[in-house]
Chain A
Amino acid sequence: MTEQWNDSPGGFHPASTPDYLPAAQLRDLQLRRLQGVLRLAHDNVEPYRAKLAEAGIGPDDVKSLDDVARLPFTVKEDLRDAYPFGLFARPIGEVVRLHASSGTTGKPTVVAYTQEDLKVWSEVMVRSFAACGCHRGDVIQNAYGYGLFTGGLGAHYGAEALGATVIPISGGNTERQIMVMKDFGVTVICCTPSYLLHIIERASEMGVDIRELPLKAGVFGAEPWSEPMRVRIEAAGNIKAYDIYGLSEIIGPGVGIECEYQAGLHIFEDHFLVEIIDPETGDPLPDGQEGELVLTTLSKRAMPMIRYRTRDITQVVPSPCPCGRTIRRIKRITRRSDDMFIIRGVNVFPSQVETALLAVEGTLPHYQIVLTREHDLDQMEVQVEVTPEVFSDEVRGLEQFRAQLSHALENTLGLRCKVSLVEPNTIERSMGKAKRVMDKRKLE
């Protein structure tokens, strides 16, 4: 057996060194990096220049981390308005990778990476895996989707940089996942938590007991989950289940991760500046108080993000972690301040559904999105009220209409959902804001 970096107590992966920086040193590093990022954004990105001018603050006016509160926010709509490359701070010749995630309307949100950005991304993923006790010798089954979604490639290159053996199996084909897990001696799996529960259920139908396999840990993210779900996963799989956090606008997976104490997610603060704000007023909130998570990238070059409003609701854990890391933790994210929801790892905004319905019908029908979880897999149903304009007295006509809706939704959302035609006035009308999403999933 070869000696491992973490064989001795207290040892950690060399890449994890910044996790343990003394607080003063960390804050100093953050400030210097922030000043650099502001200069980069100001000098190269017109929308940032305009925003800073409007806020009456120059790139050199940030003298302490407290000055961050004076900087303007960046929101998802800014990325949409700048579609596709308007927020890039480096010329396309320096951009070596593009990813995209769903935007609030039909157009996706594009993000970019330079070679150095990819190195940072791999580094934070190495630190993430290391925090979950993974190392060289581990066989990592990466069941996050490969492609425009950041999950697949982000975890992939991080696991390779760690020195682990990566199986780039991507999502889907559950039976093959189980065969590979069993035959290749997989020790770590990366996927959405609900997908692992689905794998466990399918495995038991196939007569495979996951608990008997070498699998020891799972790195779960890309969708909200809960403590009861963790208990279920850990018992059913005889593994440790770790929560990973990330979003493509910031870098992808690897913004934060749980350590062995599984009590909040450590944010890699040397690369990402954490703030919690009151989502109504935008005012900063102290540690321990719940609010919206706002992140600023401190090292990204291709596409820096200044005070990006994640819409995720959480709080900074005020006490230090017993693991010894000095980088602070945030609590598990269980809800959002907007109406975005995540289904099978894909971000969906009701406005995207509206775009698709509008494209087919010309006017927006009454509709409702119903989310359920069947056999641990998320299902999305869009119920659409039939109007006289679209009603046909022929079954074929209505089926055609339903297929059109289905097709438009799949095109816009990048995922398949069920479309049901319902009678007029059967979807509840509420006063004020329409209740567009019925989330019947239970995170257990």
Chain B
Amino acid sequence: MKLHQLSVFLENKPGRLSEPCVALADAGINILTLSLADTQQFGILRLIVRDWQKARDVLEKAGCVVKVTEVVAIEVADQPGGLATVLKALESESVNIEYMYAFTFRSEDKAVLVFRFDDPDAAVAKLQDRKLNVLSPVELYELVEQ
């Protein structure tokens, strides 16, 4: 139920973001979603792709520092309160969120929340107990690429 996310270190300088993106494009790898965390000095590009092993190899070959981390994707209704419901559930289960990002796709009225937990397995179990829709990798790819 966990997804592999690729994180890439970027210096906070003009043009740094395009390098990994171009490398992936040249290899014909589609980015399903991404998020960018940045500070004054550096940034971290977080990517979700279908074939993460291939993408990792491509990025490393392009000279990037890549880290693979497990994240959890949850499908929610794309309407007010969609995120709040999930956060409430996590809060009452005292699950710690390292960071999160969200995206919507195509015409569906659904949104996907991507979470990085300190303990993803425990988090998934608790979320499923609460009947939240934790997406498997295949489910996510189908949703995004349909």
Pick from B16, B69, B98, B116: contact of A423, CB below 8 A. Answer: B16
Q: Is A421 an interface residue (CB 8 A)?
A: yes
A97 to B110, CA, bound (A): 75
Q: Is the CB of B16 within 8 A of A394?
A: no
Q: A420-B41, A423-B63 are in contact. Are A391 and B9 (CB under 8 A)?
A: yes
Q: Is A393 an interface residue (CB 8 A)?
A: yes
Q: Is the CB of B44 within 8 A of A424?
A: no
**A395: B residues at CB distance < 8 A:** 37, 39, 44, 99
Q: Is the CB of A391 within 8 A of B11?
A: no
Q: A386-B65, A423-B16 are in contact. Are A393 and B46 (CB under 8 A)?
A: yes
Q: Is the CB of B7 within 8 A of A399?
A: no
Q: Is A53 an interface residue (CB 8 A)?
A: no
Q: How far is the CB of B128 from chain A (nearest CB, A)?
A: 24
Total residues of chain A contacting the partner, CB 8 A: 19
Q: Is the CB of A391 within 8 A of B46?
A: no
Q: Is B67 an interface residue (CB 8 A)?
A: yes
Chain B interface, >50% SS class: strand
Q: Is the CB of A387 within 8 A of B98?
A: no
Pick from A393, A396, A402, A426: contact of B7, CB below 8 A. Answer: A393
Q: Is the CB of B11 within 8 A of A393?
A: no
Q: How far is the CB of B131 from chain A (nearest CB, A)?
A: 29
Chain A's closest residue to B63 (CB) is: A425
The proximity string for A residues 383-423 relative to B, scoring 1 for CB distances below 8 Å and 0 otherwise, is: 00011100111111011001000000000000000001111
Q: Is B34 an interface residue (CB 8 A)?
A: no
**A391: B residues at CB distance < 8 A:** 7, 9, 65, 67
Q: Is B66 an interface residue (CB 8 A)?
A: yes
Q: A423-B11, A426-B11 are in contact. Are A393 and B67 (CB under 8 A)?
A: yes
Q: Is B42 an interface residue (CB 8 A)?
A: yes
Q: Is B10 an interface residue (CB 8 A)?
A: yes
Q: Is the CB of B5 within 8 A of A388?
A: no
Q: List 28 A-B contacts (CB under 8 A).
A: A386-B9, A386-B65, A387-B65, A388-B66, A388-B67, A391-B9, A391-B67, A392-B67, A393-B5, A393-B7, A393-B67, A393-B69, A394-B98, A394-B116, A395-B99, A396-B98, A398-B9, A398-B39, A398-B44, A399-B39, A402-B41, A421-B9, A421-B41, A423-B9, A423-B16, A423-B65, A424-B65, A425-B63
A-to-B contact residues, CB < 8 Å: 386-388, 391-396, 398-399, 402, 420-426
B-to-A contact residues, CB < 8 Å: 5, 7, 9-11, 16, 37, 39, 41-42, 44, 46, 63-67, 69, 98-99, 116
